[in-house]
Chain A
Amino acid sequence: MEILLNGTRVAVQPGQTIMQAADSAGVHVPRLCNYPQLKPSGACRLCVVQVKGARGLVAACTTPVAEGMEIETDSPTVADARRDVLDLLVSNHPLDCFHCEACGDCALQDYAYQYGIKEGSYDGARRQVEVDDRNPFFRIDYEKCVLCGICVRMCDEVMGYGAIDFAGRGFTTLVSTPYGVSLDDSACVFCGNCVQGCPVGALVPKSQVGAARAWEMKKVRSVCPYCGVGCAIDVHVKGNRIIKIEGAESPANHTMTCVKGRFGWEFVHHEDRLLKPLVRRADAPRGAVGREWFEEATWDEALAAAAAGIARVRDGVGPDAVAGLSSAKASNEENYLFQKLLRAAVGTNNVDHCARL
């Protein structure tokens, strides 16, 4: 099947939307409310395009292609309408990009830049909402919300909780929990998938607030250290500190995470982290339990002591008097080396991990 896209013949698949067809042809149609994992909603109207013979403009995200369709994605009519829609959004948006976490990673900012909108030209009422800081995971600043509904649909279509929905009508429409209670008291499970989906700065992980913006962070691909689903994640780092974690695309999770994967990383920087090897003090009584019986050591000292203790039993009592427990949190490579150490260096099959617990 073929269409005429901005004057060029393009082959398309039946059933594709105009947006999908344009994407495959490398033509970007602006969008705020479209999200790969969600059903198209046609809310933001930035993706309007001109289709020959159609009344008005049509939304590229929801209109299927048809044989011979003639589409203009950036004709003067489209550009003017799109600029006006953007203008409307910007006119009802705080222009405090200077201290917004989303700066540099904000779809509204990008399109406003692209379409040359410095500030909204419609002066008049402005949405005014207090920042909702009530839950420990993310900050909600609905003054910045563009009502794309990604969060609402994420919670409904993907998560199945429907913790949030639109409330109110017209200009006063807002995303809200029922009766505006804190998410803490709602059906929310703090997966944070809504936060990741938010194209602007309305939903921001608290760990990022005042800490870093897009260009300052390096994004490192990783895998969640918790359960066996093995969600792919992107660890965002600034100055050897994790700033936030987001879901990444993998067949295991398709960019989704749960609360632990996304918000459960602070242990890495916890003050309890052991930063130096410790050895039991010489004067510690046998079986005494607790930090006070340890003193810091160099790696050489500690490794020598560890090796000596193991070797003493191996060589004195026999290899089977030594046992090791590996970890189901350690990597494949480490598990492999660990059992190799027990089997080859010690000479015992006393190796296990707590798979079963």
Chain B
Amino acid sequence: MAERRGRILIGAGTCGLAAGAGAVWAAAERALTDLGLPDTPVIGVGCIGYCQEEPLLDVELDGQRFTYRRVKPDQVKRIIEKHLAGGQPVTELLLGECVDAPNPYPTLPFYAPQNRVATRNCGFIDPTSLSDYEARGGYMALRNALAKPPHDIVEAVKASGLRGRGGAGFPTGRKWELAAKSPGPHKFLICNADEGDPGAFMDRSILEGDPHAVIEGMVIGAYAIGADEGYIYCRAEYPLALERLRDAIEQARQKGYLGNNILGTAHSFHLHLKEGAGAFVCGEETALMASIEGRRGMPRPRPPYPAQAGLFALPSNINNVETLAAIAPIIRNGADWYAAMGTAGSKGTKVFALTGQVNRTGLAEVPMGISIREIVYDIGGGIPNDRELKAVQIGGPSGGCLPASLLDLPVDYESLQREGAIMGSGGMVVVDETTCMVDFARFFMAFCARESCGKCTPCREGTTRMLEILTRICDGNGTMADLDRLERLAGNVKITSLCGLGQSAPNPVLSSLKHFRHEFEAHIRDRRCPAGVCKNLISYRIEADKCTGCVLCARNCPVEAITGEKRKAHVIDPEICIKCGACFDVCKFDAVIRG
């Protein structure tokens, strides 16, 4: 069999591996050997974003790329044999949209509205290969930058309008300008790769899929502000990202992109990798620096700002992974190119992690200003089972819930802030009618209460008290006075807390109270959970008229709470019922009523 020019790409980020990409990869290697094609490269690429359909296996052949979805190891041999060797795609296994159109990425509904800048290489290159990165223009921006005075770089980043993607959205160029003005000779540039938001994984994807993009951004940033030493603070829960970074730093060092006299210039930059201490708050910049210094990761008040006295009391600049990954394209394509995307106040693109009750989940990088509706319906493909969209939660535990009525809100810093959400790090959870907003707020509050560092009073004590009140409401023991107290406390914790964690922890509660107050009131006044989630507030009964006496419910009840003769109406004993909902789910005649 003649070998054809082709290669296999396997989505082997943490998401892909979790879905079984490892076994697919092994199966591919085996199949290629079996089929006598041992020289065909199999490349583990980073996450391309379409996490829901993983494991993804792409066959690249004669410049065309076909994507196979949810691949099982036992399908691999057939794909390789028929497609790679035989030139015939296995259509029934392809990602639907690929059947008629190879190279589907630009046109796939999931990808069409996207504009991939920070994630430009993710899923397209071998992240362990520096030459792959270089082949797509990698480190060109660094060469350009080093040929200009540092001031020009700062100006370019300012003109691009890039704002920090770590949450607060502080203009990156202004930050660099401040750091550049701080007196040297020793300064630090730190990359914040702690990514502690539950449900956020864009930074991980970039680090795993394109580590050099971050390193290049850092070297350029270091040059711009005059830093000679740097740290990447990456959470320990990201072993693959750490491995990719470790290797990439070594490659860059050997190639002269890091170290003394980078590319023969006077610029030197030494980069260290630091494993995180495993707390959400360590992502807060002052806590992060304390953690690098070997102290307990606790935030401290600013001023002094990092630019004045940061790591080891020296001038420091700290940026998020995604921020840094956008630097090289800005330098290469020009500030105007970047600034042309987005809105007046929010330029460029932002990566979102789309999860929850939506048809297509995954990572999507979109231009700022795109509407929530476009993200949820065009990229995400809408809500499964034709349910109603109820809310979109943006920004994780620091963010807020926006109701369906705001679907046309443009996603930019200003608009989100106005409506009580925040961009945060870019988590976007789609919620339908089966989610209880009180319970949902409680989930985020529990996270913040657990992760509060314990230093300042309002956050340490207040998050737990808010959690207690929310729990009371979910349990049906809340009072209207509780609601007032919750609102007052949330407001006070927000304005009095020391760091961003406490200042934003009340956001989910406050925004839910703003847009979904009726649900809270239903829990309190009517002792009812409209979404049917809060166990204490729901009961199951069987409507005798509808019950056919099929006994399916009785057979599925784990505690034998349902009695009744065959073909006669059944009854549920509320004393025994544990509200698991098994009967509700199995009844074919909608006779089980939840209320």
Q: Do chains A and B touch in the complex (CB under 8 A)?
A: yes
Q: Which of A85-93, A190-198, A219-227, A250-258 lies at the interface with chain B?
A: A85-93
Q: A64-B303, A170-B454 are in contact. List 15 more A-B contacts (CB 8 A).
A: A41-B455, A42-B456, A45-B457, A84-B462, A84-B492, A84-B496, A85-B496, A88-B461, A89-B457, A89-B461, A91-B461, A122-B468, A166-B296, A170-B449, A170-B463
Question: Does A304 count as interface, using CB distance less than 8 angstroms?
Answer: no
Partner of B492, one of A40, A85, A146, A171: A85
Question: Does A22 count as interface, using CB distance less than 8 angstroms?
Answer: no
- Asked whether A125 lies within 8 Å of B298 as measured between CB atoms, the reply is no
A166 to B455 Cα, complex, angstroms: 8
Residue-wise interface mask of B (453-476) relative to A, using a CB-CB cutoff of 8 A (1 in contact, 0 not): 111111011111100100000000
- Asked whether B457 lies within 8 Å of A43 as measured between CB atoms, the reply is yes
Q: A59-B498, A84-B489, A85-B496 are in contact. Are A169 and B454 (CB under 8 A)?
A: yes
- Asked whether A45 lies within 8 Å of B461 as measured between CB atoms, the reply is no
Question: Does A295 count as interface, using CB distance less than 8 angstroms?
Answer: no
- Asked whether A81 lies within 8 Å of B496 as measured between CB atoms, the reply is yes
Closest CB-CB distance, A192 to chain B, in whole Å? 24
A102 to B451 Cα, complex, angstroms: 32
A88 to B456 Cα, complex, angstroms: 11
- Asked whether B497 lies within 8 Å of A147 as measured between CB atoms, the reply is no
In the complex, 30 of the A-B residue pairs with CB atoms within 8 angstroms, ordered by the A residue number, are A41-B301, A42-B300, A42-B456, A43-B455, A43-B457, A45-B496, A48-B496, A56-B496, A57-B495, A59-B301, A62-B301, A81-B492, A84-B492, A85-B492, A89-B457, A122-B465, A124-B468, A125-B464, A146-B457, A147-B455, A147-B457, A149-B455, A166-B296, A169-B453, A170-B450, A170-B453, A171-B454, A171-B461, A172-B454, A173-B455
Partner of A84, one of B452, B488, B503: B488
A170 to B460 Cα, complex, angstroms: 5
A27 to B549 Cα, complex, angstroms: 77
Residue-wise interface mask of A (13-55) relative to B, using a CB-CB cutoff of 8 A (1 in contact, 0 not): 0000000000000000000000000001111111010000000
- Asked whether A45 lies within 8 Å of B489 as measured between CB atoms, the reply is no
Residue-wise interface mask of A (163-175) relative to B, using a CB-CB cutoff of 8 A (1 in contact, 0 not): 0011011111100
Chain B residues in 8 Å Cβ range of A89: 457, 461
Chain B residues in 8 Å Cβ range of A296: none
Q: A166-B455, A168-B454 are in contact. Are A173 and B460 (CB under 8 A)?
A: yes
Residue of B279, B454, B458, B463 with most partner-chain A CB within 10 A:
B454
Chain B residues in 8 Å Cβ range of A81: 492, 495-496
Chain A residues in 8 Å Cβ range of B463: 170-171
- Asked whether B296 lies within 8 Å of A40 as measured between CB atoms, the reply is no
Question: Does B158 count as interface, using CB distance less than 8 angstroms?
Answer: no
Closest CB-CB distance, A223 to chain B, in whole Å? 37
Chain A residues in 8 Å Cβ range of B70: none
Question: Does B527 count as interface, using CB distance less than 8 angstroms?
Answer: no
- Asked whether A173 lies within 8 Å of B468 as measured between CB atoms, the reply is no
Question: Does B163 count as interface, using CB distance less than 8 angstroms?
Answer: no
Chain B residues in 8 Å Cβ range of A184: none
Closest CB-CB distance, B303 to chain A, in whole Å? 6
Chain A residues in 8 Å Cβ range of B458: 45, 84-85, 88
Question: Does B65 count as interface, using CB distance less than 8 angstroms?
Answer: no
- Asked whether A56 lies within 8 Å of B461 as measured between CB atoms, the reply is no
A176 to B298 Cα, complex, angstroms: 16
Chain B residues in 8 Å Cβ range of A157: none
Question: Does A80 count as interface, using CB distance less than 8 angstroms?
Answer: yes
Q: Which single residue of chain A is at the shortest CB-CB distance from B465? A: A122
Interface size on A, residues (CB 8 A): 38
Q: A42-B300, A56-B503, A125-B464 are in contact. Are A171 and B452 (CB under 8 A)?
A: yes
- Asked whether A92 lies within 8 Å of B298 as measured between CB atoms, the reply is no
Question: Does B494 count as interface, using CB distance less than 8 angstroms?
Answer: yes
Chain B residues in 8 Å Cβ range of A166: 296, 298, 454-455
Closest CB-CB distance, B237 to chain A, in whole Å? 16
Q: A80-B492, A124-B464 are in contact. Are A44 and B298 (CB under 8 A)?
A: no
Chain B residues in 8 Å Cβ range of A41: 300-301, 455
Partner of B457, one of A44, A62, A169, A172: A44
Q: A84-B488, A147-B455, A173-B460 are in contact. Are A165 and B450 (CB under 8 A)?
A: no
Q: Which single residue of chain B is at the shortest CB-CB distance from A172? A: B454
Partner of A43, one of B303, B449, B456, B462: B456
Q: A122-B468, A124-B468, A166-B296 are in contact. Are A56 and B456 (CB under 8 A)?
A: no
Closest CB-CB distance, B524 to chain A, in whole Å? 17
A92 to B462 Cα, complex, angstroms: 11
- Residues of B257-283 at the interface with A, using a CB-CB cut-off of 8 Å, are 279
- Asked whether B456 lies within 8 Å of A45 as measured between CB atoms, the reply is yes
Closest CB-CB distance, B452 to chain A, in whole Å? 4
A146 to B454 Cα, complex, angstroms: 11
Partner of A57, one of B300, B450, B496: B496
- Residues of A88-133 at the interface with B, using a CB-CB cut-off of 8 Å, are 88-89, 91-92, 121-122, 124-125
Q: Which single residue of chain B is at the shortest CB-CB distance from A149? A: B455
Residue-wise interface mask of A (151-189) relative to B, using a CB-CB cutoff of 8 A (1 in contact, 0 not): 000000000000001101111110000000000000000
Closest CB-CB distance, A103 to chain B, in whole Å? 22
Closest CB-CB distance, A177 to chain B, in whole Å? 14
- Asked whether A88 lies within 8 Å of B503 as measured between CB atoms, the reply is no
Q: A56-B496, A62-B301, A169-B451 are in contact. Are A85 and B464 (CB under 8 A)?
A: no
A84 to B503 Cα, complex, angstroms: 15
A172 to B488 Cα, complex, angstroms: 24
- Asked whether A171 lies within 8 Å of B464 as measured between CB atoms, the reply is yes
Chain B residues in 8 Å Cβ range of A42: 300-301, 456, 498
Chain B residues in 8 Å Cβ range of A125: 464, 468
A165 to B298 Cα, complex, angstroms: 11
- Asked whether A88 lies within 8 Å of B462 as measured between CB atoms, the reply is yes
Residue-wise interface mask of A (133-151) relative to B, using a CB-CB cutoff of 8 A (1 in contact, 0 not): 0000000000000110100
Closest CB-CB distance, A42 to chain B, in whole Å? 4
A77 to B300 Cα, complex, angstroms: 24
Residue-wise interface mask of B (200-228) relative to A, using a CB-CB cutoff of 8 A (1 in contact, 0 not): 00000000000000000000000000000
Chain B residues in 8 Å Cβ range of A149: 455
Chain B residues in 8 Å Cβ range of A43: 455-457, 498
A124 to B458 Cα, complex, angstroms: 16
Residue-wise interface mask of A (54-72) relative to B, using a CB-CB cutoff of 8 A (1 in contact, 0 not): 0011010011100000000
A46 to B464 Cα, complex, angstroms: 19
- Asked whether B498 lies within 8 Å of A45 as measured between CB atoms, the reply is yes
- Asked whether A173 lies within 8 Å of B454 as measured between CB atoms, the reply is yes
A56 to B491 Cα, complex, angstroms: 10
A258 to B496 Cα, complex, angstroms: 37
- Asked whether A147 lies within 8 Å of B454 as measured between CB atoms, the reply is yes
Chain B residues in 8 Å Cβ range of A48: 495-496
- Asked whether B460 lies within 8 Å of A171 as measured between CB atoms, the reply is yes
Q: Which single residue of chain A is at the shortest CB-CB distance from B280? A: A169
Closest CB-CB distance, B309 to chain A, in whole Å? 12
- Asked whether B464 lies within 8 Å of A170 as measured between CB atoms, the reply is yes
Closest CB-CB distance, B469 to chain A, in whole Å? 8
A118 to B437 Cα, complex, angstroms: 34
Please name the 5 residue pairs, one residue from A and one from B, whose CB atoms are nearest each other, closest first: A173-B454, A42-B301, A88-B461, A62-B301, A56-B495
Closest CB-CB distance, A355 to chain B, in whole Å? 43
- Residues of B291-305 at the interface with A, using a CB-CB cut-off of 8 Å, are 296, 298, 300-301, 303
Q: A84-B488, A84-B489, A88-B461 are in contact. Are A169 and B450 (CB under 8 A)?
A: yes
Chain B residues in 8 Å Cβ range of A146: 457
A144 to B468 Cα, complex, angstroms: 21
Residue-wise interface mask of B (224-241) relative to A, using a CB-CB cutoff of 8 A (1 in contact, 0 not): 000000000000000000
- Asked whether B451 lies within 8 Å of A170 as measured between CB atoms, the reply is yes
- Residues of B88-107 at the interface with A, using a CB-CB cut-off of 8 Å, are none
Chain B residues in 8 Å Cβ range of A88: 457-458, 461-462, 465
Residue of A46, A63, A84, A85 with most partner-chain B CB within 10 A:
A84
Closest CB-CB distance, A156 to chain B, in whole Å? 9
A44 to B462 Cα, complex, angstroms: 12
A43 to B454 Cα, complex, angstroms: 9
Chain B residues in 8 Å Cβ range of A85: 457-458, 492, 496
A48 to B458 Cα, complex, angstroms: 11
